[in-house]
Structure 1
Amino acid sequence: MAAGMKHVVYHYLGNSGLKVSNICLGSTVFGKHKAGRPGQCDEITAHSILDRFAEWGGNFIDTSDDYSNGEAEEIIGNWLAKKQRDRFIVTTKPCYMQDKSYSGVDNVGQYDPNTIGLSRKHLIRSVDESLRRLKTDYIDLYQIHVWDEGTPIEETIRTLDDLIKAGKIRYVGAGNVLGWQMQKIMMLCKSMGVNPWISLASQYSLLCRWPEWELLDVCRNEGVGVMAWSPLKGGWLTGKIKRDSSSPPEGSRIAFSEANPQIKQQSHPNYSKYSSDGKVFDLLDTMERIGQKHDKTISQVALRWLLQKDTVSAAIIGAKTLQQLDENMVASAGWELSEKQMSELDDASAVEVPYPYELVARANKSRRRFNNFI
């Protein structure tokens, strides 16, 4: 391990016995086929980032079968083939938004409606194709990418449990669901007598506090570990954009979003969304001031705030260079924000809580109990 590097901290993933690094390496930037988005990595660069992540002690890798049309899984698979597979926890997800023409579906005038969603047919095929691209015979954690209104959730739950019994996947998790949907999943797992789901991949950051209204309560009460994606809000929480900036940094994903307003980007909102919002820059000023007290960057403060939240098992980061990776990994261990600093950041990023969440929280202020399962 390089001089000065500290190993990451390992957390149990939710109420399971699985331990994962509190930094999870995301792979949305792996592969060259991402609709012209900047910062994509070729295989050589991606492998160097994976090597450095492992050197830091990272063991948690997140991907999906639709990242760069499956290329991200292939890149990770080629890397895993040269490593001790059991050392790493690999999570992937099935496609949910577009037809997967790359997976063998005839895309020359032929339409197959079963190439998206959470049906038994699609899930079984997706798992088999991911196993092939990842060059492995099991997936550690298989997560739905988003709730599917077209498939009864009971069908999805039963299929994923069958895949556990078949040895193709080992744990199941959710991604991008509403509070009632997460609660229904957990209750159905109990009533159906199947393996409980252990994780939720949710956007969560100092610029995305809404999961706290309901989703995080479900996760806390049901023993579900949160994997926070877009922890830096696509670059907004890095400090690269200043209060007096007239445009986003050239080549950034924020600049890409600004130039392509027709593409909805929750993970990296365009420049216009926050550029005139003084509260966002007040937050960045607070983060910078707190960071200076710890000799840390704004990005590191953003990640540290997340990692000190009781339901967060891991923050999912993306890195296109070794320098970016190293900066993010520094947030994982060896220092902490004080309780006062956490409160300052909470206050600086607070959003108005709507009814009925505000009323229920206020009425239960002295009644709440917490179950810290990590």
Structure 2
Amino acid sequence: MEYRRLGASGFKVPVLSFGTGTFGGKGDFFKEWGSTDVAEARRLVDICLEAGVTMFDSADIYSSGAAESVLGEAIKGRRDQVLISTKATFRFDDRPNSVGSSRYHLIQSCDAALKRLGTDYIDLFQLHGFDAMTPVEETVSTLDDLVRAGKIRYLGVSNFSGWHLMKSLAVADRYGYSRYVANQAYYSLIGRDYEWEQMPLGLDQGVGAVVWSPLGWGRLTGKLRRGQALPSVSRLHKTADMGPQVDDEYLYRVIDALDEVAQETGKSVPQIALNWLLQRPTVSTVVIGARNEEQLRQNLGAVGWNLTAEQVAKLDVASVVTPAYPYWHQRGFDERNPPPV
């Protein structure tokens, strides 16, 4: 398994991480993702560790904390072999302060996560979203306190816009607080908005991408084909409207290109989609998910080989879209605004 630096930090992470959104299965939304119990989770962790996938990503809102609890039980006795990534910010319960990135909520969330995970430190702690109701200075200073207390090793964000992240980094630099080194962002062959602003920002500021939903919210699993009905067994039946939206013609254009490359390489559609991401600038690790051993082993086959430059170009062309302003304008002046490399 290849390891890469997480942004400009000295921390190295495997290029594939395992997402635990399928652990627990509490609530209608997360039940559609999966209902992995402790015994199943232990088996999946075993397979991951055998393959060199040592980082496991979770969040407090995944199954109302159950995902962190299941992960904690699954890694019991081998904490020194794994890296834990988790997130907080979104509403956890109905109490007034159980949401956001205030000092109160972040300290409470961190301590609760440590208890559920059965550990005394978190390797990577990320804000799950931006909180415009809390001063950035309060948020960043609180996270710095948690780092200095030894409860958190590295910091990251998720679902921030470019200016959210840049403002936070500027505040951290101004006061000498710990910087964000990770940006857990949605990025896939059918969702390339990350490239417009956040990728150049990541290169400039030393922030590595931790990619979530690399298979386009389940659309690049190889089960969807032009002119065919959605498979009877697919979480897209109930969750498609909850995630990123994709135009059908655009989706099938990308799938057609993936099928061509699959025939050339002998690899599966999801393996190709994941491998394409691993060749993109700023990507430190890609979070894969799996409901069972078969899905996990399939995703693990995305590493140990590389698409050719010609195959990457074919996928690039099939998945390109016109970016929003001012990015389409800037791309007309590559001499002054060269694309990320």
Give the TM-score range, shorter chain.
over 0.9
Displacement of 1:367: 5.6
The answer to whether residue 3 in structure 2 is matched with residue 10 in structure 1 is yes
| 3-state SS in 1 of match to 2:204 | helix
- Rounded to whole Å, the distance in 2 between the matches of 1:244 and 1:146 is 37
- Equivalent residues of 1:34, 1:67 under 8 A apart: no
Can you list the C-alpha shifts for 1:123-180, whole angstroms capped at 9, x where unaligned? 0011000000000000001000000011111110000000001011011101000011
* Equivalent residues, number: 339
- Aligned partner of 1:69 among 64, 69, 72: 64
- Aligned partner of 1:289 among 257, 260, 272: 260
| 3-state SS in 2 of match to 1:171 | strand
| 3-state SS in 1 of match to 2:160 | coil
Change in 2 beyond 3 A, CA 1:151/1:336: same
- Rounded to whole Å, the distance in 1 between the matches of 2:165 and 2:285 is 18
Letter in 1 for 2:126: Q
| 3-state SS in 2 of match to 1:118 | coil
The answer to whether residue 32 in structure 2 is matched with residue 50 in structure 1 is no
The answer to whether residue 134 in structure 2 is matched with residue 165 in structure 1 is no
- Equivalent residues of 2:42, 2:75 under 8 A apart: no
Give the corresponding residue for 1:265. Answer: 243
Q: Which has the higher contact order (CA 8 A, sep 6+)?
A: 1
- Rounded to whole Å, the distance in 2 between the matches of 1:134 and 1:120 is 21
Letter in 2 for 1:67: Y
The answer to whether residue 235 in structure 2 is matched with residue 253 in structure 1 is yes
Alignment root-mean-square deviation, CA:
1.6
Give the corresponding residue for 1:220. Answer: 203
Give the corresponding residue for 1:316. Answer: 287
Give the corresponding residue for 1:191. Answer: 174
Give the corresponding residue for 1:3. Answer: none
Can you list the C-alpha shifts for 1:10-52, whole angstroms capped at 9, x where unaligned? 1111111111110010010101203142532122212211110
Displacement of 1:369: 8.0
Give the corresponding residue for 1:153. Answer: 136
Unaligned runs of 5+ in 2: none
Identity within the alignment, %: 38
Can you list the C-alpha shifts for 1:169-212, whole angstroms capped at 9, x where unaligned? 01110100001111111111111111211100000001111111
The answer to whether residue 81 in structure 2 is matched with residue 87 in structure 1 is yes
- Aligned partner of 1:128 among 107, 111, 115: 111
- Rounded to whole Å, the distance in 1 between the matches of 2:33 and 2:82 is 28
- Rounded to whole Å, the distance in 1 between the matches of 2:227 and 2:325 is 36
- Rounded to whole Å, the distance in 2 between the matches of 1:192 and 1:342 is 42
Can you list the C-alpha shifts for 1:282-328, whole angstroms capped at 9, x where unaligned? 21111111122221001001000000002100111110111111111
Give the corresponding residue for 1:241. Answer: 224
Give the corresponding residue for 2:272. Answer: 301
| 3-state SS in 2 of match to 1:315 | strand
Displacement of 1:279: 2.9
- Rounded to whole Å, the distance in 2 between the matches of 1:94 and 1:211 is 21
The answer to whether residue 193 in structure 2 is matched with residue 210 in structure 1 is yes
The answer to whether residue 309 in structure 2 is matched with residue 339 in structure 1 is yes
Can you list the C-alpha shifts for 1:90-129, whole angstroms capped at 9, x where unaligned? 1111141x342xxxxxxxxxx5210010000000011000
Displacement of 1:231: 0.4
Letter in 2 for 1:49: L
- Rounded to whole Å, the distance in 1 between the matches of 2:323 and 2:95 is 43
Displacement of 1:355: 2.0
Give the TM-score taking structure 2 as reference length. 0.95
Can you list the C-alpha shifts for 1:209-241, whole angstroms capped at 9, x where unaligned? 111110111111101000110000122112201
- Rounded to whole Å, the distance in 1 between the matches of 2:249 and 2:122 is 44
| 3-state SS in 2 of match to 1:227 | strand
Task: List 4+ stretches of structure 1 deviating above 2 A.
Answer: 364-370
- Give the alignment of 1:167-182 within 5 angstroms: 167-182=150-165
- Equivalent residues of 2:61, 2:92 under 8 A apart: no
Can you list the C-alpha shifts for 1:254-288, whole angstroms capped at 9, x where unaligned? 01226xx5xx323xx5xxx54xx233212111111
- Rounded to whole Å, the distance in 1 between the matches of 2:123 and 2:263 is 39
Give the corresponding residue for 2:98. Answer: 115
- Aligned partner of 2:321 among 343, 347, 351: 351
Can you list the C-alpha shifts for 1:306-358, whole angstroms capped at 9, x where unaligned? 000021001111101111111111112x2111112111111101111222111
Change in 2 beyond 3 A, CA 1:169/1:300: same
